[in-house]
Structure 1
Amino acid sequence: MKKIFNFILLLIIIIQNAYAVIKGKDSSLTLLSKTSIFKYDNIKDLIVFGDSLSSVNTNFSDMTYNIKGISEGEKWPIHLAKANGMKLWNYAVSGAVADFKIIPRKFFNTSYIDEYQMFLDRMSKGKKFDSWDGQSSLFAIWLGCNEIRCIKHTQEVQKVYNTAINIIFDKIEGMYKVGARNFLILNIPPLDKAPLKEDQNYNYYRYDIFYYNEKLSEYANNFFYRHPDTNIILYNANEQYNYVLLNYQEFGLFTGNTPWTVGRRYGLSRYFWFDNFHPTFRGHQIIADDITVLLKSLNKK
């Protein structure tokens, strides 16, 4: 049965690759409420959860952040917040996974569950930073890359991914209960195309990422079915990465493959990859710009 499932996955991936790559904004899932109208121009607060792809060295005592210690520069939440004049509340922490009980990480101690609890402790009703409003706030979640990278393939990987995504949406349910109505969820980029160690074979990433992203879409649809007063935007970061890596010259990039830490022929602005996994500030800007176009377009619907 497992071999049949893997064959079907491979067939789907081959079929998908046969079609032209399009930008993330043109291939994202948008589930919009008929009663709680999404008005991006009115969004004032951006509340972020995630891992190193989203973290900005937040000081959780006062919720300020400091980009000076971020080698790759400003990340997508900062670019997105600036583009729409939003206040950024960033709970993302480097190394995070949904739950360390399912994906243990020896040198990291803040999970998505912990991030969610920090949000409740600081921004739920009666707390220090509770001035946000559900209609004028956007909750953004980007998780899963560390699950893909760190899972042991001696485990039942699909069961682990199901558990991780279930945790993500369980906490989204918690956000909903305290007033959140607008959600931006980013799927997993094509890590098999990242400049990881060349002596290792990462082809299994393609199967894992495809499965994870399909489940993410399934959960998003189910959540929207239960809560039709929400707006859910499942942004296709996977397709956006593919588009940029294939059409890197369109964005003024020198290469779509070599990381800046290896090449350093030009400045960071000419590279998409900072290292073997993380984008440069320019890569983050390209992603944020595409998300911005998508979110602004939803004002018309």
Structure 2
Amino acid sequence: MNCLGPTSTAAVEYFITFGDSYSQTGFDPTLTQPAAGNPLGNPNLQGYTTTGGFNWIGYLVESYNNTLMLSYNFAYGGATTNASLVAPFASTVLSFIDQVDQFVKYNPSGPWSSSNTLFGIWMGVNDVGNSYYLPNYTTLLGQIMDSYFAEIQRLYNVGGRNFLFLTVPPTQDSPLFVGQGTAVQASLATAISQYNAALVSRIASFKAANAGSNTWVYDTQTPFLNAINNPTAYGAADATCINADGVSCLWWNDYHPSQIVHKLVAQGVASLLKGVFW
């Protein structure tokens, strides 16, 4: 059964996304489908996020879009790329592999096409956060990337041609890791840098090997550090305050950024793809 076909083909674009809690909206592909006036489909207008409101995906399809953009968001909180390589916090968490499986099962057809669809992938926060301290991290990172790009290849093989990749942000500056001290922060920061460098390298290899593919890399370090280094400019008392209202501090909880940061991410993505999808 095809659950992802919209009711109209006029000026419709699709944003199909994969990730973890930084991207989750709680979308279920078997329930209410995205449509004009409700581009996220389900569970509600903003979705089930970790920001207290919209996350970056919500802002992109609700605030920064120039045409109707329908969001099919398969992101799942706690996700790693491959659960057999880096275990998530619970066995029920859908990995990147599982998320692509879901997409393939409910693969959109008809008005969905290579040209009107952008695939967005923001993985890595949990891959790095759950493994940076391991002695075999460098070897493991190569295996993670192999698995990651096997999934990107699957998306290409079913017609995906436009791919947006988001890097891992400076989670060492989250209140959770600030509280663990500078040595732990430095170790995590190094691992994140390694991950992001590997990601950029693999993206280039993927693009070279797959005719007609278009790739964009958005460095999430930039908006995060902009806010962290200038918290009062965004209405926060400091760089580590937490408020579940999602708008008074940079952090919604000790590991998840607030709407303030997500809005900056969305603005950056919209700028990067201006004239293409935004």
SS at match of 2:273: helix
Normalised by the length of structure 2, the TM-score is 0.82
Provide Cα deviations, 1:51-89, integer angstroms capped at 9, x if missing partner. 000010112313532246435221111111122131000
Listed one character per residue, the Cα deviations across residues 230-289 of structure 1 (whole Å, up to 9, x for unaligned) are: 11001000122112211334434443222225xxxxx53232211111111232112101
- Within 5 Å, give how 1:170-181 maps onto structure 2: 170-181=150-161
Contact 1:255–1:270 at 8 Å: present in 2 too? no
* CA positional deviation for 1:298: 5.8
2:254 equivalent in structure 1: 276
- Letter of the 1:140 partner, please give it: G
Query: What are the equivalent positions in structure 2 for 1:52-201 lying under 5 Å apart?
Result: 52-62=21-31, 63=33, 64-66=41-43, 67=46, 69-70=48-49, 72=51, 73-82=53-62, 83-84=64-65, 85-109=68-92, 110-123=94-107, 131-151=111-131, 153-197=133-177, 198-200=179-181, 201=184
Contact 1:188 1:238 (C-alpha < 8 Å) held by counterparts: yes
Q: CA deviation at 1:159?
A: 1.4
C-alpha spacing 1:149/1:71, structure 2 compared with 1 (3 Å) = closer
Number of the residue aligned with 1:28 = none
Say if 2:25 and 2:73, in contact at 8 Å, map to a contact too. Answer: yes
Q: Using a 3 Å threshold, how does the CA distance of structure 1 residues 221 and 233 change in structure 2: closer, same or farther? A: same
Counterpart for residue 34 of structure 1: none
Distance 1:69 1:54, change over 3 A: closer
Amino acid at match of 1:269: V
Note the 1:221-240 alignment, pairs <5 A.
221-240=204-223
Amino acid at match of 2:262: H
Q: What's the secondary structure of 1:222's corresponding residue? A: helix
CA contact (8 A) 1:139 1:183 kept: yes
Amino acid in structure 1 at the alignment position of 2:168: I
Change (3 A) 1:52 1:106: closer
1:6-51: per-residue Cα shift (whole Å, max 9, x none)?
Answer: xxxxxxxxxxxxxxxxxxxxxxxxxxxxxxxxxxxx7700000000
13, 19, 30: which is aligned to 1:50? 19
Where do residues 194-209 of structure 1 align in structure 2 (5 Å cutoff)? 194-197=174-177, 198-200=179-181, 201-209=184-192
Gaps of 5+ in 1: 1-41, 262-266
Please tell me the root mean square deviation across aligned C-alpha atoms, in Å: 2.2
Letter in 1 for 2:162: N
1:187–1:235: 8 Å Cα contact kept in structure 2? yes
Alignment match of 1:291 (pick from 269, 272, 277): 269
Percent identity, aligned pairs only?
A: 23
What code does the residue aligned with 1:162 have?
G
Structure 1 residues 44 and 147, CA gap change in structure 2 (3 angstroms): same
2:5 aligned partner: none
Aligned to 1:12: none
Query: How far did residue 299 of structure 1 move?
Result: 8.0
CA distance in 2, matches of 1:156, 1:287: 31
The answer on 1:244 being equivalent to 2:224 is: no
Q: CA deviation at 1:212?
A: 0.4
Residue ranges of structure 2 left out of the alignment (5+ in a row) = 1-10, 34-40
